[in-house]
Amino acid sequence: MDLSSPFKPSNTTIFHHPSLTPFPLKTHLQNLKFRKPFSPITAITNSQQEQEQLPQNSPQRLLKELSQRQKIINPNKRLPPKRFILKPPLDDAKLAQRFLNSPQLSLKQFPLLSSCLPSMKLNNADKTWVDEFLLEAKQALGYPLEPSENLSDDNPAKQFDVLLYLAFGHPHCERTNARHVRSGHSRLGFLGQYVLELAMCEFFMQRYPRESPGPMRERVYGLIGKKYLPKWVKAASLHNLIFQFDDMDKLIRKEREPPVKSVVWALFGAIYLCYGMPEVYRVLFEVFGLDPEDEECQPKLRRQLEDVDYVSAEFEGKKLSWQEPPEDALFAHPRLFRACVPPGMHRFRGNIWDYDARPQVMNTLGYPLKVKDRIPEITNARNIELGLGLQLAFLHPSKHKFEHPRFCFERLEYVGQKIQDLVMAERLLIKHIDAPGKWLQEKHRRILLNKFCGKYLREKHLHRFIIYSEEVQDSYEQNRRLRNPATTSVQQAIHGLAYTVYGKPDVRRLMFEVFDFEQTQPKAFITINKMGLLGPKHRVGILKYRSQFMLLSHFILTQSFEIYNACITRPKGHIDRHIIDVKGSYMIPQMHVRVPFQCDQDDYEVVRKVGRGKYSEVFEGINVNSNEKCVIKILKPVKKKKIKREIKILQNLCGGPNVIKLLDIVRDQHSKTPSLIFEYVNSTDFKVLYPTLTDYDIRYYIYELLKALDYCHSQGIMHRDVKPHNVMIDHELRKLRLIDWGLAEFYHPGKEYNVRVASRYFKGPELLVDLQDYDYSLDMWSLGCMFAGMIFRKEPFFYGHDNQDQLVKIARVLGTDELNAYLNKYQLELEPQLEALVGRHSRKPWSKFMNADNQHLVSPEAIDFLDKLLRYDHQDRLTAKEAMLELEPQLEALVGRHSRKPWSKFMNADNQHLVSPEAIDFLDKLLRYDHQDRLTAKEAMSHPYFMQVRAAENSRMRTQ
């Protein structure tokens, strides 16, 4: 089959199944031309045959005619610079041959993709997708319309259904409440993985031309070459697959919705994959009318692709064999992998795929393969595949300044994906060995049975591929329990391999025989855990959520491989406050055990994971006794002082306005590490909620947040991590709670604190210039960043790529003159490199950030309030109390003054038989502002309104 470029005229015949097209036929019929002379008789004959074969207005005929007509050049159109006009570097014939000659593939050979499958079966995961949009998507992609249920499992068309679901499936569905495994990772905005999935769809389409004629590459590039891309997306109903709003034209026109942008980025990634950066520039210029040299031109995409291109050129310059895979490799094109290489990775010593240490990892894992295929190139291809798998598996994100699109997900701590990556490497090895799995299983068994596994990892220098630190050796010697999170992730991955190869019993054995170096556990405890590692409720959880077993195993492993089976309950209100010793270390009040330890171990059940942090993991849970929802925050075994500090702060703030309520503390009997039980808030994701808020909503919620900040500041506590992720809002109940007090600290005037607090986008200037004696005003800066993002509809407002770039972004808005005055006031100096990056900038007026989308939110009062929060000098910012006084008259003006309405105003002909004097009196005593004036449940039951009900109940009891 011949695949022609979409950017040059072609008269290649395209055979395909019915598909949709948004382009009108009649406007182009008169402009149809042919590239070379031909016989009129032959043309008439061919035209008659085509008309007989293809019905008029059929999709086949439309696409055929579109593929034959030449592109109409507008004489007034601005031409791009000559350096951007380049032909595609790849030969279509060779490209097609490469796809067609690739080995037989199935979904089972892609563990990375299969690990992304929904947690439920496809036919039950999202009925909205399956019932309404799947056929339309198939039509739009020129795909057979036969239902998936009628296809066999080995049919590639059925596999393509799954890939379509992965590429375009929206993770949230109001109809079924189905959740996608990766929905918590904002996957639609992840360019590298999105390109991978679209490329895999393209691969299947071109690998099996009989089942799916009309190559997707031809369709996608033909469409992106037009200005009808938004129209096509809407006509094909693809907008329903990525975002459920009807007014798609407005969203695309304003280019403000990340999911819509991600589709454009993915298409650019596909172009870059096959044609390179010059073609991306050409499409940016010709199709979207953007100048690639302009810094404002698709900055994220442009920076992403340029960094990838730069890294690729550096690797290619060294002529590394693993960067030039043969044509039948699993990752068929090297650009596909390079799209996932961290930008700027070559600039740091932290490149874990270090050329000096890389052979040691290969040797440890039996790599490269010793057994040769009949064709040597195939063996090389397998080695390259394994190399790429290892590259993905052992990237550590947190030790250097560069950022990968996946780094914000803390991917190494995401156990399921980590295990799938290593299993992928294992399967690739097993697949191409004469005795499948035998030697590899024996090798892993020897490693896992070795009680000196930590020493083994150290001798093989595997820790260098996980964490780069000069203190790694010391941490191994001083702490044999390997508490370092990155090192722990290796243990988790090894347990994952054991679970995959040997099953759950072997994992249980390994957890206590191999990794429990401190042989101090009581014999009874070891015996109990060998017989059943998990409590009854956790065993039910594993059976119920088998696909999430690794999630629960992560919960076990991160707690020094011990189970939280001690539920110690305290009486309500029994809290000893203000216990601080002379040295400033915080002491936890004693927890009084109400019942024996064995009786309370099942008080709480884990339902699902809802979040994660650097020092904890958060689960939605349920109290078995009361059947009430709660939130369980499982703290990782970090410094005891930090855990004690968080508990002490939460106890000090107990009962404060809009502060999350600490309901209980559950201790493990052996590790003494607590888990915190909080009230449950049915919050909405801020990325979904904030764009829907009105002016009054924003003022209301900022005022509610100020109540919490004012209270904690009055108690001598700084939160130090104010951001949208830590502000839970139940919009239906209009309830706000400030959560995550793990970084909070008691304030002492003049004391120097750690500047490595707060999230990057919400860090105050004092943290970025290393001013350690900061105070409560740090929280006010973070609040100002939140407020700016809400009113300007720009989240985050200051978007820096690292701490230095964060200061640069602030200086571009607030100017450098005030920054220099701030530095001089506190006798601070910037590093020469940072000073060069900051440069000189004038202050931007806040009105520059106003546009048609946010002008209804940006009032003069809002700008004045924001200006008093976002100031370099922390002493000039508003306090929480002052900020509340600023907002109070604005809220009052919006709400207005109203007199009380009598209840009789709500009576009408339909309800007057229900509105008795007793009912009005009962209602009046319930609906009162002051909660202390409302009836209690006991008082409400004795109200005259229920007199007849009580009389009937007494009569029935006497009868019985």
Nearest CA to 718 out of 798, 658, 645, 657 is that of 645
Contacts of 865 (CB under 8 A, 6+ apart): 787, 878, 883, 886, 887
Cβ proximity of 139 and 20 under 8 Å? yes
Distance CA 264, CA 864 (A): 37
What is the enclosing helix (H) or strand (E) of 469?
Answer: none
SS3 606: strand
Residue type, 692: T
* 316-322 contact pairs (CB < 8 A, 24+): 321/380, 321/384, 322/383, 322/384, 322/387, 322/388
DSSP symbols for 804-819: HHHHHHHHHHH-SHHH
- CB neighbours of residue 95 within 10 Å: 19
Distance CA 233, CA 906 (A): 49
Please give the radius of gyration of the chain, using alpha carbons only, rounded to the nearest integer: 32
Distance CA 537, CA 602 (A): 7
How many CA atoms does the CB half-sphere of 742 hold within 13 Å? Answer: 21
DSSP symbols for 254-282: HT--HHHHHHHHHHHHHHHHHH-HHHHHH
Q: Cα separations (Å) of 619 from 467, 604, 676?
A: 27, 11, 11
Task: Answer positive or negative: Cα dihedral of 144, 149, 150, 156.
Answer: positive
665-702 per-residue burial string, b: 16 or more CB within 10 A, e: under 16 = bbbbebeebbbbbbebbebeebeebbeebebebbbbbb
Cβ proximity of 819 and 843 under 8 Å? no
SS3 756: coil
What is the enclosing helix (H) or strand (E) of 662?
Answer: strand 662-667
Which candidate in 721, 740, 779, 805 is catalytic? 721
Cβ proximity of 222 and 66 under 8 Å? yes
Distance CA 628, CA 180 (A): 25
> Quick check: bond before 59 cis, omega within 30?
no
| Residue 721 known to be catalytic | yes
* 886-890 contact pairs (CB < 8 A, 24+): 887/699, 887/702, 887/703, 887/706, 888/703, 890/699, 890/861
Nearest CA to 379 out of 460, 433, 415, 416 is that of 433
Q: Cα separations (Å) of 380 from 432, 507, 666?
A: 12, 34, 54
The residues that bridge with 628 in the sheet, in sequence order, are 623
Q: Cα separations (Å) of 472 from 201, 398, 517?
A: 43, 15, 18
- 234 among the known binding-site residues? no
Greatest Cα pair distance, the chain, in angstroms, is 106
Q: How many angstroms from the chain centroid is the CA of residue 906?
A: 48
Distance CA 908, CA 910 (A): 5
Q: Cα separations (Å) of 812 from 815, 817, 838?
A: 6, 11, 8
Residue numbers in the known binding site for ATP are 633
What are the residue numbers of the active site?
A: 721
